[in-house]
Amino acid sequence: MGKHQHVPSNAALVARLTPPLQRYNRIGNPLVLASPFIADEYLSDASGFHGSASQLFRPANVDEVHEIVKAAVDSKTPLTLSGGRTGLTGGCVPRDGWILSLDRMNQLSLEPAVAHAGAGVLLHEIHREAATTGQFLGPDPTETWASVGGAINCNASGSRSFRYGALRRHILGLEIVLMDGRVLHVRRGDKVDFPVTPVPLPATTKHSAGYYLRPDLDWIDLIASSEGTLGIVTRADLQLLPAPAALLAGLVFFPSDALALRAVRAWRPVAGLRMIEYVDKPSLELIHARYPDIPADAEAAVLIEQECEASDDAADEWLARLEEHGALETSWFGAGARDRERFRVFRHALPEEVHRIVRGRGLQTIGSDFAVPIAHNETMLAFYREQCEQHFHGNYVIFGHIGDAHVHVNLLPLNKAHAQTGRDLMVTFAKRAVELGGTVGAEHGLGKRKAHLLPLLYSAEQIEAMRAVKRRLDPEWLLGRGTLFPAI
Tell me the C-alpha distance between 413 and 303, whole Å.
27
CB-wise, 87 or 97, nearer to ligand FAD? 87
Residue number closest to ligand FAD, CB atom: 150
CB of 296 to ligand FAD, least distance (A): 27
User: Which residues are bridge partners to 400 per DSSP?
Assistant: 278, 407
Do 54 and 96 touch, CB atoms closer than 8 A?
Answer: yes
In the complex with ligand FAD, the residue whose CB is nearer, 233 or 454, is: 233
> Whole-angstrom Cα distance, residue 254 to residue 256?
5
Considering the complex, state which of residue 196 and residue 233 has its C-beta at the smaller distance from ligand FAD.
233
Q: In the bound complex, what is the minimum distance in angstroms from residue 81's beta carbon to ligand FAD?
A: 4
State the nearest-atom distance from the C-beta of 484 to ligand FAD, in Å: 9
The smaller minimum CB distance to ligand FAD, of residues 157 and 306, is found at 157
Residue number with CB closer to ligand FAD (158 or 422) = 158
Q: How far apart are CA 114 and CA 327, in angstroms?
A: 40
Q: Which is nearer to ligand FAD, 100 or 314 (CB)?
A: 100
Minimum CB distance to ligand FAD smaller for 46 or for 294:
46
**β-pairing, 232-239 with 171-177?**
antiparallel
Minimal distance, residue 14 CB to ligand FAD, in Å: 19
Residue 318 CA to its chain's centroid (Å): 31
Quick one: 266 or 488, whose CB is closer to ligand FAD?
488
Sheet holding 114-118, edge to edge: 108-111, 114-118, 232-239, 171-177, 183-187
Q: Quote the least distance from Cβ 313 to ligand FAD, whole Å.
A: 30
Taking the alpha carbons at both ends of the chain, their separation in whole angstroms is 23
Give the C-alpha separation, 134 to 244, whole Å: 9
User: Under the rule (CB under 6 A), what is the footprint of ligand FAD?
Assistant: 28, 45-46, 80-88, 91-92, 102, 119, 141-143, 146-147, 149-151, 153-154, 156-158, 227-228, 232-233, 351-352, 443-444, 447, 480, 483
Closest distance of CB 229 from ligand FAD, Å: 7
- CB neighbour burial string for 354-391, b if at least 16 within 10 angstroms, e if fewer: bbebbbebebbbbbbbbbbbbebbbebbebbeebbeeb
Q: Which is nearer to ligand FAD, 129 or 143 (CB)?
A: 143
Shortest CA distance to 36 belongs to which of 18, 56, 10, 13? 56
Q: Based on C-alpha coordinates, what's the Rg of the chain?
A: 22
- What's the rounded Cα separation, in Å, for the pair 40 and 476? 28
Least separation in angstroms between residue 393's CB and ligand FAD is: 24
Query: How many Å apart are CA 450 and CA 359, to the nearest integer?
Result: 18
Rounded Cα–Cα distance for residues 143 and 150 (Å): 12
How far apart (Å, rounded) are the C-alpha atoms in residues 413 and 392? 8
Q: How far is the CB of 265 from ligand FAD (least distance, A)?
A: 22
What is the closest distance, in whole angstroms, from the C-beta atom of residue 67 to ligand FAD in the complex? 16
* Shortest Å distance, C-beta 317 to ligand FAD: 27
| Nearest CB to ligand FAD, comparing residues 129 and 352 | 352
CB contact at 8 A, 80 and 97: yes
User: Can you count the helices (H) and strands (E) in the chain?
Assistant: 14, 17
